[in-house]
Amino acid sequence: MATRKAGSRLETEIERCRSECQWERIPELVKQLSAKLIANDDMAELLLGESKLEQYLKEHPLRQGASPRGPRPQLTEVRKHLTAALDRGNLKSEFLQESNLIMAKLDYVEGDYEAALRIYARVGLEDWPLTGVPPYRLRMAADAYATKGLCLEKLPISSSTSNLHVDREQDVITCYEKAGDIALLYLQEIERVILSNIQNRSPKPGPAPHDQELGFFLETGLQRAHVLYFKNGNLTRGVGRFREILRAVETRTTQNLRMTIARQLAEILLRGMCEQSYWNPLEDPPCQSPLDDPLRKGANTKTYALTRKARVYSGENIFCPQENTEEALLLLLISESMANRDAVLSRIPEHKSDRLISLQSASVVYDLLTIALGRRGQYEMLSECLERAMKFAFEEFHLWYQFALSLMAAGKVSLPLRSAILGVDGSLEFHGMT
């Protein structure tokens, strides 16, 4: 009985580590589990294969746009573990499915896209359950759809028929959209579980919570679909995809992604959309839009439905923009708040790179705010926004200049100071601000 309880505790801990991507802990836990339970070799092979593959990807991260090439000597052990687990056939059906999905990911990493797609066709990825499963299985499903989309993108179509190309493109995008939807669900669920564990923890101090990372496959699922929509001339669906991601309840892991997407969507709304082609976020997109390629055919709504969806912000008094500049302004004010919150202020040399990235990100937001608020003549509000940027604008000429001009436009600068700021030819002469 004691052995059974110990095994159950270990299995629970292994499940938690898989959900939180703590791969470095898996080998030791597997060793303990194998010592306590009999006939557990196949499960050990699965867990070791998965943990070694994920550790490899952590140490050798894949890059967007790069193509994996051939078998890797470091991954030989991974294939041995997974082959052993699959060949003996002693695992329960759900664990056999997991082994197959891990093997498909390994095939992708080694550049064998056709082998990966054959596995996805065999295991029935569409039937993978999303309800009543631990968080790690949600992550596996999201990874699998992203990997399938990557494989389909990289394999050429044998026929030159245009309809086949359109169908393939839609299959790829659908894979990425499903991957992104399930990724949002996974990140919400794992954050909920982690917070619950912290709240229920005894006063005795335990291990610090593990910071979640998106990783290559989840990030691909969340970012690739809208890129392909814009590339294919379907601005309507690209904007819709941005909105879907932004409406999902935020998690710590997606904060930087949300800021990037909010900024990109604001730029599209300001520069690529007019009031006549705008539809508000709670409406269905138009069937035909001047924003889209006129030769493109197909609906602007999703062609699939998942059995479980990520939670979205909802309620009776939620503000809904009614025109493009209004939505862009809302997005930019949210982005500005996040940029100010996450600004790197330290000027020590070790933080120089992070500080420059932080400043560059914030500068783009303030440039777009200048466009949005300038269109509406809200110079006083613009000057207030730029004033908040001063805390990290030391020796940044552009931000100071924008701030000075916004003060002038808002009538907050006296005539003598205005003369000091602007020369006769309109160039900036007053450098005391920097």
Q: How far apart are CA 52 and CA 50, in angstroms?
A: 6
The position carrying tokens 């520069």 is 271
pLDDT at site 287: 77
Question: In which region does residue 157 sit, left (phi positive, over 0), alpha (psi from -120 to 50) or beta (all else)?
Answer: beta
pLDDT at site 363: 87
- Count other Cβ atoms within 10 Å, centred on residue 200: 7
The tokens for 430 are 């007053």
Q: How far apart are CA 399 and CA 411, in angstroms?
A: 18
User: Taking residues 162-178, what's their average pLDDT?
Assistant: 85
pLDDT at site 238: 92
Domain that includes residue 378, residue range: 343-424
In a domain, 361, yes or no: yes
Burial group, residue 7, by CB count within 10 angstroms (0-12, 13-18, 19+)? middle
What b-and-e string marks burial along 103-114, b requiring 16 or more CB atoms within 10 Å of the CB?
bbbbbbbbbbbe
| 358, 381 contact by CB (below 8 A) | no
In a domain, 411, yes or no: yes
Where residue 198 falls among pLDDT bands split at 50, 70, 90? confident
DSSP 128: -
In a domain, 129, yes or no: no
In a domain, 353, yes or no: yes
Q: Is the pLDDT of residue 327 over 50?
A: yes
Output the average pLDDT for the chain: 84
In a domain, 116, yes or no: no
In a domain, 367, yes or no: yes
The tokens for 150 are 């990557």
Backbone angles phi, psi at 428, to 5 degrees: -75, 125
| 116, 148 contact by CB (below 8 A) | yes
DSSP 424: T
Burial group, residue 69, by CB count within 10 angstroms (0-12, 13-18, 19+)? exposed
- Count other Cβ atoms within 10 Å, centred on residue 76: 10
| 416, 423 contact by CB (below 8 A) | no
* Side-chain-side CA neighbours of residue 177 (13 Å): 22
Q: Is the pLDDT of residue 68 over 50?
A: yes
Output the DSSP codes for 85-122.
Answer: HHHH--S-HHHHHHHHHHHHHHHHHTT-HHHHHHHHHH
User: Taking residues 10-21, what's their average pLDDT?
Assistant: 92
Indicate the number of domains in the chain. 1
Out of 110-119, 314-323, 338-347, 355-364, least confident range: 338-347
Coil, strand or helix at 398: helix
Rg (CA), the chain: 26
Question: In which region does residue 89 sit, left (phi positive, over 0), alpha (psi from -120 to 50) or beta (all else)?
Answer: left
Q: How far apart are CA 38 and CA 78, in angstroms?
A: 23
The position carrying tokens 């976020």 is 281
pLDDT at site 1: 38
**Can you give the pTM of this predicted structure?**
0.87
Where residue 332 falls among pLDDT bands split at 50, 70, 90? very high
- Count other Cβ atoms within 10 Å, centred on residue 434: 13
Packing angle between helix 379-389 and helix 352-375, nearest 10 degrees?
A: 180
In a domain, 55, yes or no: no
Q: How far apart are CA 255 and CA 252, in angstroms?
A: 5
In a domain, 377, yes or no: yes
| 213, 253 contact by CB (below 8 A) | yes
